[in-house]
A and B are shown apart, each in its own frame.
Chain A
Amino acid sequence: MSTATMDVPEVPTGSRVNYLNAQYGVKSWLLTTDHKRIAVLYLVSITLMFFVGGFFAVLMRLHLIEPQGALVQPETYNKLFTMHGVIMVFFFLVPSIPATLGNFLVPLMIGARDLAFPKLNLLSWYIYVVGACFTLYAVISGGVDTGWTFYTPYSSSFSHTSVIPTALGVFITGFSSILTGLNFVVTIHKMRAPGLTWFRLPLFIWAIYATSIIFILGTPVIAITLFLLGLERLLHIGIFDPAIGGDPILFQHLFWFYSHPAVYIMILPGMGVMSELVTCFSRKRIFGYSFIAFSSLAIAIISFLVWGHHMFVTGQSIYAGLIFSVLSFLVAIPSAVKVFNWTATLYKGSISYDAPMLYALGFIGLFTMGGLTGLFLASLATDVHLNGTYFIVAHFHYIMVGGAVMAYLGGIHFWWPKITGRLYPDGWARFAALVIFVGFNLTFFPQFMLGYLGMPRRFAVYPAEFQVLNVMSSAGASILGIGYLIPLIYLTWSMRYGPAAGPNPWGAKGLEWTTPSPPPTENFEEIPVVTEDAYDYAHSTVTRG
């Protein structure tokens, strides 16, 4: 990535007024209503939560080096996996791409000055922070040991840990998701630039739109469920505890009614990022635009109909199990459509292996593995064997880390020059992408084998014959941990010392690349008029920087 010719003359970052230098001081950040600044606020907060959650994962993997457990008491181990799950799911994965890249890019990609409700946008960040504070308080006040699923009646009647503060934190943070989703839906419907019809939108926008629908429809259900859980715990009224007349299966239905669609909240935005990366670095129009667009909506809709596949062995009726199994197979179709279309886009493309593209290619492989192993779990008979083992842990980490986090990092590397106006060292970035890919596979592939051999998840000890695979997994986790620290270092470094990026360092298509980097506060000097389809690289005159 050397700086060279641009369509727009290059101006040193410091001398032009942009959203970063328009105002200075802590107050100008904490009271901002600029979607770009709010995106940066989110970026900082979720990065912090990512490393807190990652810290617990490191402790867990250290502990599992020895069959009898090397580090902590079993009770503490229960708290480690719970807090890792709660923080990573609710405070990192769910907000990751929508709240950072989504906040930054939605108005830029559709040619708007801001989101429809800028103050609401800031409010949603504050709600997130308050929720995170409650959960961090729970961590400090002794932790919580219910698992991130808060299954009743253990969570409501038996656990002696900080269930209420944790659940309250998740409850509060939910409203931040709802408001973000609401803002996106209204903005995408009502504020597209002239000429930007629905089928000219970047596919990232379609993915964010589908995600927002899940935010709006799913999140309130988990909110009310956690509230009922808190009520039962505080007042000892039977809602979910069978000993006092409640129904624990009802809790699981309500919990997964949100939490399964939430899996798609985590992966759909990543799929949106993928469509942008694959086209840009293949220099090709996306293959099957409308298929990818509609598959996002299909995933959002079907995601609400498959929650029962988490409950094949927890007492729901066998007929419900059959139907949920079939529906779960259905959701694989739109996911596979996307993978095929990305692959077809690569075919005969002029591919370049920049850091974002390395993450994108990693995503295709890892997501495919995660998705296919999901079919094992959607099948009733194999699920009985694999349920509750490390196979499940490996499966969802291939989707959540191999998929969502890879896409998130790919997206951050792709739009970093736009966000900060600086370039990062390309060599280091490619190196980090490879380290993460290797570390990830070494961590989680052995877990597939462990699970298939029958090692149950969520236990602090294991039979001695599993030690080799566990040590491999722990070694992989340390490589993965280092892999995540490298970008933290060079990206932070680049904010001060990186060379100026120019408006379009990748020679990419899309409205966000037509405005300077970093963009001015009002995004565009003049609202653009769109006259071409998305990803029109065939007729592109834009060259790479």
Chain B
Amino acid sequence: MQQPEPKRHVLARRDAIVAGLRGILPESGVIAEALRMKPYETDGLPAYRQMPLAVALPETTEQVAAVLKFLHREGVRVIPRGAGTSLSGGALPLEDAVVVGMMRMNRILEIDYADRCATVQAGVTNIGITNAVQAEGFFYAPDPSSQLACMIGGNVGMNSGGAHCLRYGVTANNLLGLRVVTIEGEIIDIGGHHLDAAGYDWLGLLTGSEGQLVMVTEVIVRILRGPEGARAMLAAFKSNEIAGQCVDSIISSGIIPVALEFMDRPAIHACEAFAHAGYPLDAEALLIIEVEGSVAEQDFLLGRIKEICSQFDPISLKVAESAEQSLAIWKGRKGAFGAVGRISPDYLCMDGTIPTGQLPLVLRRIGEMSDACGLKVANIFHAGDGNLHPLIMFDANDPASFATAEKFGADILRLCVEVGGCLTGEHGVGVEKRDLMPVQFSPDDLAQQRRIKDAFDPGWLLNPSKVFPLQAPHTLAIAA
């Protein structure tokens, strides 16, 4: 993968830059020894690695502002980092860049149940918010698979989704306010404790901007009261086509399940081997369908869904009888990535979205590509919203295998765009899909996005080499 040329004058001034950071942060907050920087050379996409110039770990918004102001003055590139769980290489460093990690800003500042919101620092984990409010029956809705570890600042950066976003929306739909720091080191509050600020929708623009525009230090999230209960069911089918038609029928019936997950045969087998959730191994496609409400309401909805599924000649239908059985059903799905990690040394997790009606075609084509390139793939699909996660299995110790996997992944994403979808539904473009952006966007589309980047960060110092293809005039200009 091509990366921009490092800035020679920055590399040459490394010692002075480190000294400057040490003047701002406590001793343990600046890491500059090669060995100790090593774990920061990659994130959740370890196929890509690059040692940074230094690592800074601020503890307050003011420190973030001072660090950015200093780095801006020095012309140093900045790589924002949360928990480092990005699957698109969103936190991949550059040789001449300082990683600014938000892990030390992990405090919950305010919880307001009456107004149903919480103010937290960017380094609080996604599940940490729910953990803090669940005693009162509340939760923070977006639930990416990495929710245990991923941090809310990173969620904002990537506009993370999750299995339940069909009902509850993604990160952008669950925010009220942000405290951000510009590359010039200015602290700005966006939004607040209220809905729909007047003026441009900065909250909407900054969410999912992948660290291109500002650094997020505090987040005001909406918290929701949880339902009385939730229960899942499994429906297994003889083909992807039939399962797809069943999903269409459920949605058309007016039921929006809180989650509607689809697994193909390889995914079923991998998850079952790991979780022993009772997934039927003779099925080609499996749906996990979850509904919420009182027990009677769950029974009503699951009854209707069962009726619909029955019209599609299911191999098996299994409704959880208890919360424990629901958990068991979910355990396989939630552990899917790890489960694939157990059957293959490495995997690439793709993240395209397709119009849901195109699922059978797309899965057939992916199967053909898999046969052609010789790499196995398991498909996990958020069936309600069209977000497809093919997990391509490869061997990182074999360079040819990785190259094939990369190309396979790119071909899948091209296919997603071709059928009317997009490159990424929730993982972000990062460095991984950067060079595919012209597949989805015209030169004018991309130029407009670049001009927005320019407006916030004219020197292109914030998380450079991500999102936008390198051949862009701007990135070429700064590389010079």
* Same complex origin of A and B: no
Residues of B whose CB lies within 8 Å of any CB of A are none
Residues of A whose CB lies within 8 Å of any CB of B are none
